[in-house]
């Protein structure tokens, strides 16, 4: 009897241990905050998310640390943007020795833009990397919805026990983003088409421009580490001085000196910082992907309405 009781207790302990192990959240590492936020919204309590490039951080110039390599080694899943956005990620993954699957969030997007697409649309650049892929696909909510679908599918595959949970959250988020996309289009439509012109720090808004019919001018390419040419700066100064564009914006993680130079030489007023490649802190105005889009669109519309 004692032996039977002991065996039953042992089985019970083993079952409890297995259940506890199964209930442990999936360890997800995202390369930057926008992906981290989408992973949290889809994953809920079934995941713990670590983000390498934090709030207001610049993934273009990010320098990984040993703790980042450890986070990858311990991860159950790694989510990256792809499209050349995280140039440092391949080396970090290799150095970490991780066995976790790497999910490319942009893999399912329906349209890929290049720098040439942006230049052909705006006729305003003098870069030397025509044809470079634009990695900022999340700036179109249509493409952001594809990110959600890809992330949800990867979570379901990696953690099938919670597949229904991931599917339900992803469906809810997709509905919310569809409504947000409609709101953005309505807001942009309040600005006459010939006033929809904006100058920003770097070319991060190509997908936004394509989706919502706004012209963005920028003195640098896709990376904040790029340096503008004298010709580009001269052209943008002429744009402002001619009165065509008064909407001038910094970015939360970009180099402010370029925009400040343009403002100093033209007298243009600089608008509030836009959030492009990173979310704000939790207490800031762009703590989630949805909040980022609402904040940026509100600021852009207000500024563009001042264009002549």
- Residues 199-210 pLDDT 10s: 887 678 999 999
d(Cα 23, Cα 26) in Å, to the nearest integer? Answer: 9
pLDDT digits (tens, 9 = 90+) for 177-199: 999 999 999 999 999 999 998 88
- Is residue 204 located within the same domain as residue 157? no
Look up the pTM and report it.
0.83
Residue 11: the pLDDT is: 44
Domain that holds residue 261: 190-304
- Is residue 216 located within the same domain as residue 284? yes
Q: Give domain status of residue 205, yes or no.
A: yes
Q: Give domain status of residue 68, yes or no.
A: yes
**SS3 category, 41:** helix
- Is residue 141 located within the same domain as residue 200? no
Greater model confidence, 259 or 121:
259
Query: Long-range contact list for 66-75, CB < 8 A, 24+ apart?
Result: 68/92, 68/96, 69/95, 69/96, 70/96, 71/29, 72/29, 72/96, 72/98, 72/100, 73/97, 73/98, 74/27, 75/27, 75/28, 75/29, 75/50, 75/100
Q: Give domain status of residue 43, yes or no.
A: yes
d(Cα 152, Cα 158) in Å, to the nearest integer? Answer: 10
Instruction: Count structural domains, the chain.
Output: 2
Question: pLDDT band for position 6 (50/70/90)?
Answer: low
Q: Give domain status of residue 276, yes or no.
A: yes
- Is residue 83 located within the same domain as residue 220? no
CATH number of the domain that residue 209 is part of: 3.40.50.1980
Residue 130 has pLDDT above 80, yes or no: no
- Is residue 154 located within the same domain as residue 26? yes
- Is residue 173 located within the same domain as residue 195? no
Q: Give domain status of residue 130, yes or no.
A: no
- Is residue 43 located within the same domain as residue 163? yes
pLDDT digits (tens, 9 = 90+) for 77-88: 999 999 999 999
Q: Give domain status of residue 274, yes or no.
A: yes
Residue 54: the pLDDT is: 96
- Is residue 173 located within the same domain as residue 271? no
Q: Give domain status of residue 44, yes or no.
A: yes
């Amino acid at each position: 009897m004692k032996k039977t009781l002991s065996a039953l207790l042992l089985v019970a302990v083993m079952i409890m241990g297995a259940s506890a192990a199964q209930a442990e959240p999936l360890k997800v590492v995202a390369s930057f905050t926008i992906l981290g936020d989408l992973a949290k919204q889809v994953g809920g309590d079934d995941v713990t998310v670590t983000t390498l490039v934090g709030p207001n951080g610049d993934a273009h110039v990010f320098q990984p640390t040993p703790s980042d390599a450890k986070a990858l080694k311990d991860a159950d899943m790694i989510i990256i943007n792809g499209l050349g956005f995280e140039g440092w990620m391949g080396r970090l993954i290799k150095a970490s020795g991780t066995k976790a699957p790497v999910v490319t969030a942009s893999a399912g997007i329906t349209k890929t833009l290049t720098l040439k697409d942006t230049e052909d649309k705006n006729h305003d650049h003098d870069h030397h990397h025509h044809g470079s892929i634009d990695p900022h696909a999340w700036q179109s909510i249509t493409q952001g919805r594809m990110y959600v679908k890809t992330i949800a599918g990867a979570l379901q595959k990696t953690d099938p026990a919670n597949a229904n949970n991931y599917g339900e959250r992803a469906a809810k988020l997709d509905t919310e983003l569809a409504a947000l996309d409609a709101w953005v289009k309505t807001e942009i439509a309040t600005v006459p088409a010939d006033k929809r012109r904006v100058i920003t720090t770097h070319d991060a808004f190509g997908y936004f421009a394509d989706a919502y019919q706004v012209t963005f001018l920028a003195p640098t390419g896709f990376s904040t580490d790029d340096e503008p040419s004298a010709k580009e700066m001269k052209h943008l100064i002429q744009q402002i001085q001619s009165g065509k564009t008064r909407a001038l914006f910094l970015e939360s993680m970009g180099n402010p000196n370029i925009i400040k130079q343009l403002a100093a030489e033209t007298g243009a007023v600089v608008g509030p910082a836009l959030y492009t490649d990173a979310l704000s802190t939790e207490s800031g105005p762009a703590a989630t992907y949805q909040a980022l889009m609402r904040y940026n669109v509100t600021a852009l519309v207000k500024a563009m309405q001042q264009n002549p």
